[in-house]
Amino acid sequence: MSQSVTRAARILDSLAAEPQAVVELAEAFELHRSTMFRELQALERVGYVRRRKDGTYSLGVRLIALGQNALSTLDLREAGSTYARQLHKTTGNTVHVAALMDSTIVYVDKIDDAQGVRMYSRVGAPVRAYCSGIGKVILADLDEPARDAILAGTEWVRYTEATITTREGLDAELEKVSAQGWAVDDGEFEDFVNCLAVPIRSSAGVVGALSVTAIRMVQNLEQLSRHLPLMQQTADRIGRTLG
């Protein structure tokens, strides 16, 4: 991949996180402001970014449309949509559905907490495999070469005191997850959030996972665990729909 294409992709990734000004992007990418401005102009011309009234840039409508088109082709998102919303209606929690796509785990659906609590995650974004319930429950279902492929290049960032920061520690955790059939995120990425996740399997094996997530002060893991039978039933239904 050429340097210019790689840089454009990184700029889009950066803008996906939050709108930013030319000067912010120039500093982040160690480019002259005029160079960054030209990059943004080129992306704006094809509709991949747009300039906002306050002078910052965000993702453009064309890129968002392309992303939605790509997501609409994903069998797991389509198969799980109705069931995920039924689960959300019963639990009231934030529900995530993620798909295993080659060597990447990606959020393909998200239904926000009924109380309006917003989580960091977004549809289309990669899952942090080593410090998320969804990531761990998928990894636990894979053989070592497949795990290696997903974890290749992982930067073992310690987000909280509970974050697992070594492959050895993660492998030990995955043994437990494999035995019990479900995984948790007990404040491992954000210390005020916890979640419970179960795998989604089709005839091809593990294809993704779903989770329910809550603010720990509102619902702790013991309270979330009451939803486990329903979550497993939901995951089974999605898997059977996939075939």
| Single-letter amino acid, residue 159 | Y
Are residues 100 and 60 part of one domain? no
pLDDT value at residue 22:
92
The CATH number linked to 49 is: 1.10.10.10
Are residues 97 and 9 part of one domain? no
Are residues 96 and 181 part of one domain? yes
| Single-letter amino acid, residue 77 | R
| Residue-by-residue pLDDT tens, the chain, 243 positions | 467 788 888 898 888 888 999 999 999 998 999 999 999 999 988 888 899 989 999 888 777 666 655 554 457 888 888 999 999 999 989 999 999 887 889 898 998 876 655 666 778 788 999 999 999 999 999 999 999 999 998 989 999 999 999 999 999 999 999 999 999 999 999 989 999 999 999 887 898 999 999 988 888 999 999 999 999 999 999 999 887
Sign of torsion over alpha carbons 227, 230, 236, 240: negative
Nearest to 205 by CA among 126, 127, 125, 146: 146
Are residues 96 and 63 part of one domain? no
pLDDT value at residue 148:
93
pLDDT value at residue 117:
58
**5 Cβ contact partners less than 8 Å away, ≥ 6 residues apart:** none
Give the range of the structural domain holding residue 50, as residue numbers without chain letter.
3-67
Residue at which a domain ends, from 67, 93, 115: 67
Cα 63 from Cα 156, distance rounded (Å)? 30
Given its phi and psi angles, is residue 47 left (phi above 0), alpha (psi -120 to 50 degrees) or beta? left
Residue at which a domain ends, from 67, 87, 111: 67
Are residues 34 and 131 part of one domain? no
The CATH number linked to 220 is: 3.30.450.40
